[in-house]
Every structure is written in C-alpha cells, then in structure tokens.
Structure 1
Amino acid sequence: MVAAMNVSSAHATRPYALLSIAAAVGTIAIKFGAYVLTGSVGLLSDAAESGINLVTALVTFWALTVAARAPDQTHPFGHSKAEYFSSGLEGALILLAAVGIAVTAVGRLFDPQPLEQLGLGMVLSLVATALNGGVAAVLTAAGKRLRSLALQADAQHLLTDVWTSAGVVVGLVLVQLTGWLILDPLIALAVAVNIVWAALRLLRESADGLMDSALSDEDTRSIERILAGYAEGGLQFHALRTRQAASRRFISLHVLVPGAWTVQRGHDLCEEIERAVEAALPQSYVTTHLEPLEDPLSWADAELDRTPRSGDSPKEKRR
C-alpha cells in the first residue's frame, strides 16, 4: 500500500514539470526578444538563465518520471532518489550559466554598448517575470504538498530568476535615467553572483539527500509524540533512526515489550505503531524490531537513540 501511494504521488508531480517546461519556453522567447530589441547584456544574462530553466525543467521531468516507477527487484526501496540527481544537475548547470554571464559582462565593462528601445525591453522583461513568478508559486505549493524536492528546487530556481529579472529592470531604469552604460554589465555581474549562490544551495541540498540525511525535527517530533502515547502503558522504544529519499521517508525503531508477551501480541502492537506513524507522516516506510524488556542485550543499542538515555549501556549490540 505504501509503495502504491508513493508511486501515485510521484505520477502527480509530472504535470507540474510540464508546466515548468512550457513556462521556460515562453520566458526564453520573451527575454531573448527583449535583448534583441535593446542590446542589453543584462537582459541577455536574464535570457540565458531562462535557457537553463528549460534544461532543468526537462531534467526535472525525467527525474520525476524515474521516481514514479514502482519498486522492483533491483530497487526494492523505489526510485525516489532520482530527484536528487535532478536538483544536483540543476545546480551544476546554473554555475555554468553564471560563468558565461560573467564573461560576457566583463567584456562589456571594457567596451560599453549603447542600449535601444529600453521601454519595450523592460515591458517584455516584466511580462516574463510575472509568468515565472506565477509558475514558481504553483510549483512551490505542489512541491510542499507532494514532498517533491525536484519541484521545490525548480520553484526556487524560478524565484531566483524572478529576482534576477527585477534587478535587471532596475538596472535598465538607472541606465535610462543616468546614461551610465557601465551599469548594465555591473547588473549582469550581480546577477551572476546571485545565480552562483542559488546553485551552491541546490548542490548542498542534493548532497544531503544522497547522503541519507535524517528527517526534519518537526517530523521526528511527530514520531516521538506517537511513541510517547504507547510508552504510558509501560512500553519502551529506542534506536529511532530516520532518513529521507526525496518524497519518501524511511523510519526504523526498536519496540521493547514484556518478554512474557506472545509473538502475536507483540506483532499486533508493531503493526499498530507502524500504521500510526504512516498515517501521521504519509509516504513513510516504517520498520520495527521487537525486543524483550528484561533482556540486557535489548538495551545494548540504546545509544542509537536521537536523545540517549542516562545509564544506557555504551556497548555495541552484537547479534
């Protein structure tokens, strides 16, 4: 059931990736047209970033298509980590775009060029900015609802593009008011720095995901609240470990019950706990390990707890 739910959720993300592709194509056409009309290197840098948006939107669609595949024999835990490759590649491509923008801007610093039809160019840039802003809002909401890192990364990139476009327009207004042509390449260099910052953030998030980072503090507290309700009955829990793979959560813990319990009773309790955690945190895969309270070996791995208990045995558990 969990696998089916995860696959269904992954399928639901792909229409948003298609929306991002359509928006990228539209903004490239608009921004490049603005550059052709004005000759502004700032607008050229803005159009170049939209070109990167198109590439990353295509990669995002590919990653979400792979992530939507059901678990199989070679990937029993699913394919959701494909989303991290999407955001990582996006970060790398953004860095390349920043280098290209910087090289073009430096050339214009030493050889400023007159700008033409600034009014129409700025109007076109603002239209493209509004388009990106609307799509970014849609992708942000969908990414949070569907827990899709790829969609959230794409939305963050589009928001970066929005601020980039706003900065370019401000620069062009200043050029028009002051006549200082050097402001155009300076704004382009500022755009490049902003793009580098966004790229480094995406690369860091991708690396964290590929290294199996733990769930957020909020998610962990939700698990602990559920376990606290069962602990009131004299049960114990430890060795809570979590990791996330894009939209999927993986949770494991040890459940300690009286040794006199039957296997059936312990099994039923573990099933109940797993269902409670999965209900609180959708798209979770929960694994429990049953142990007897009275056995000292049951406490030998208590140091794996998120918050170790005082008096727990420091020895490693050996089985």
Structure 2
Amino acid sequence: MMMTQETGAAAMTNATPDATSGTINPALKLAIGSLIVGAAVLGLKTLAWWLTGSIALLSDALESIVNVVTALAALIAVRLAAKPPDAGHPYGHHKAEFFSATLSGLLIILAALVILREAYVGLMTSHSLAAPVLGLAVNGAASVLNAVWAWVLITRGRALLSPALAADGRHLMTDVITSGGVMVGLVLALMTGWWFLDPLMAGLLALHIMWSGGRVVQGALSALMDEALPEDTLDTIREVIATHATGAVQAHDLRTRHAGSVTFIDFHLVVPGDTRVDDAHEVCDRVEAALIGAIPQAIITIHVEPDHKAKPQGIDVAPA
C-alpha cells in the first residue's frame, strides 16, 4: 500500500490582504513602516552631514540611502511573497523574500565600498568640522529612531517568519552600531584635535559593514539552495513524529526546507501491511496536526508505505 498525503496550515501569516475586510497583513505594514522610517533617518543624517562637513557622517548618510532601497525591496518582496500559489508557482511565492535579503546584503557591501573610498579621500586631505555638537545631536536622534525600529523589525520579523523583514532589521541594527562608532570617533576628534580620526573611523566601520553584508548574503543564498532546518528544529520534528505516529512502525527519509514564512516537511511513514487506508489516513492527520502545532505554517507531505519498506535507520515510533 502506498499513499501520499499533503496538507498545510490553513492560514498563513503572510497571507494576502483580506479581500473581504480590506485589511493589510502585519508583514506588509512593517515593510511600509520601514520605508517611512528609512526616509526620515536619511533626512536627519543628511542634515547632520550638511551641518558638520564630516566624512564619517557623510558615510553614515550614504548607508541610509541603502536602508531606503532595501526597505523598498523588502516591501516589494513581502507583497510578492503574500500572493497565493498559482498555476505557474504551485508552491507559492515565498522565496521572493530571500531574493530581497540577497539584494540587501549586496547593497550593504556596495555602501561599504563607497564609504571606504570617502574615508581614503578624507585621510589624504586635512579638514575640520563645522557645528560638530549640533550635527552629533541630529545624528544621535536618527540613531535612536533606527535602533527602536530595528528592534521592532527583528522581533516581529522572527515572529512572522519573514526573512526579508528580519534581514532589514539586522541591517538597521548594523547602521545603529555604525552611527555609534562614528559619534565616538567625532567626539575623540573634538577632544584631541586629531581630525584624521573622522575618516579613519569611517574606514574601520566600512569594513564592519562589509562583513555584515556578507553574512546577510550568505544566509539568503543558503535558504535559496533549500538548506535543511537547524538541527534543534529537526530534533523537534523527529520527536513529534515518534510521539504522535502511534499505529505506524517508523518514519524515514525526512526532508525539510524553508521558504519565506513557510516550512516544508516531507517524509515516508511505514505502517503495518494490513493497515486500512482510512486508519493510515487517521495516523497522518494526527501527526500533521502535532507538527503544525510545533512548527507553525508548515506544509507537510507524508508518503505512506507498507512495513516491508522499513529501513535500518529511521525514526522509531512509540508503541501504542
């Protein structure tokens, strides 16, 4: 007897806007908020650079341009990922968010290269700062706004299983660290009169930004390559199957992948050869319900096989 059963969570967090209520899903609201906050922070940091003439603050403002672009990319990706499956994309559009995260990482690296160039030019020329205190105050206000919104994006992005929003939040947190370093460098320059600290700090922080962008790209590409779920999550899945598949013999060939807000789980479930189809179906329903309870927004495919298909290595099911 062979039977394949596929189910999924009835409602996805990143579902399309409710046509009946006209509401917008939370992930899309956060993406719109990121665009607004990014534009406000860009304006403040540009003002801080204009007031001081600081190369480090100019570099900070350049990175904020990337923030706006990545926020726009995240907005587009979240909107596209929310589209339901269609004939051309039967598994949905969830991976669009990983493309957005990849773009964000590449833009972060590009911004770091631009900052390095500005830092080099600054080291080759001597300069002092105009209105440094006021500029630092404006830049500090922008950093506080960025820090608050980064925390919101990271926590809510994880809760909504949205890699685009979480990546945007991590990028903003990197921007907060960058701004903090810039301000420390400028304060030291003011106290000592060593104005070369301004471009030097910009160059050091550019290297940190480049490293952060590389990590974002690496994570997104791993997901696009259908990397398996983390080992602790796999252990949870194995435990759920072993505990709730009573009536079956074993499970094997477990495969998992993550796409946007959705987790795909498929495996073979071995049952006694004389098991009725409806009884095997009841076991599958029980396991699926337990897995969805442990892994929200999971889409599960179970291939049922007779007991002679059991393998030496598999997930042993607890006896009745």
TM over 0.5: yes
Mean alpha-carbon deviation: is it higher for 157-166 or for 94-103?
A: 94-103
Q: What's the CA shift string for 1:194-249, capped at 9, x where partnerless? A: 11011100110011010001112232122112122146656211111111112110
Question: Residue type of the partner of 1:208?
Answer: S
Aligned with residue 282 of structure 1, among 279, 283, 296: 296
- The match for 1:100 is 114
- Contact persistence 2:14–2:261 (CA under 8 A): no
2:201 corresponds to which residue?
187
Partner of 1:197: 211
Per the alignment, in what secondary structure is the counterpart of residue 115 of structure 1?
coil
Q: 1:7/1:28 Cα in 2 relative to 1: closer, same or farther (>3 Å)?
A: closer
Task: Tell me the distance in 2 between the aligned counterparts of 1:5 and 1:91.
Answer: 26
Aligned residue runs from structure 1 range 1-319, under 5 A: 2=9, 4-8=11-15, 11-230=25-244, 235-293=249-307, 295=308, 298-299=309-310
Distance 1:38 1:161 in 2: 19
Verify the 8 A CA contact 2:59 2:115 in the aligned structure 1.
Answer: yes
TM-score, normalization by structure 2: 0.90
Q: 1:6–1:248: 8 Å Cα contact kept in structure 2?
A: no
2:22 corresponds in structure 1 to none
Counterpart of 1:255 in structure 2: which amino acid? L
Check conservation: 1:7, 1:67, Cα contact below 8 A. yes
**C-alpha separation in 2, matches of 1:285 and 1:189:** 46
CA contact 1:42–1:168 (8 Å) conserved in 2: yes
Amino acid at match of 1:113: H
Select the structure with the greater relative contact order (CA < 8 A; seq sep ≥ 6).
2
Question: Which residue in the other structure is 1:316 paired with?
Answer: none
Partner deviation per Cα, 1:174-205 (whole Å, 9 max, x = no partner) = 00000001100000101210110111001100
1:7–1:70 contact (8 Å) kept in structure 2: no
SS at the partner of 2:15?
A: helix
Structure 2: distance between partners of 1:177 and 1:80:
51
1:290 alignment partner, SS class: strand
* Partners of 2:248 and 2:269 within 8 A in 1: no
In structure 2, list runs of 5 or more residues that go unmatched. 1-7, 18-24
Count of residues in correspondence between the two structures:
302
Kindly indicate whether the alpha-carbon contact (under 8 Å) linking 2:245 and 2:284 is maintained by their aligned counterparts in 1.
no
Tell me how far apart the structure 1 counterparts of residues 170 and 77 of structure 2 sit (CA, whole Å).
Answer: 17
RMSD: 1.8
Q: For 2:156 and 2:220, locate their aligned partners in 1 and report how far apart those are by CA, in whole Å.
A: 19
- 3-state SS in 2 of match to 1:108: helix
Q: Deviation digits for residues 100-154 of structure 1, max 9, x if unmatched?
A: 1111110110102111111001101110000000001111111111011001100
SS at match of 1:8: coil
Whose helix proportion is higher, 1 or 2? 1
Q: Distance in 2 between matches of 1:183 and 1:96?
A: 23
Paired residues of 2:15 and 2:82 also in contact (CA < 8 A): yes
Give SS of 1:261's match. Answer: coil
8 Å Cα contact 2:245/2:286 also seen in 1? no
- Counterpart residue number, 1:313: none
Give how far 1:12 is off. Answer: 2.2
Question: Following the alignment from structure 1 to structure 2, what is the Cα–Cα distance between the partners of residues 162 and 174?
Answer: 19
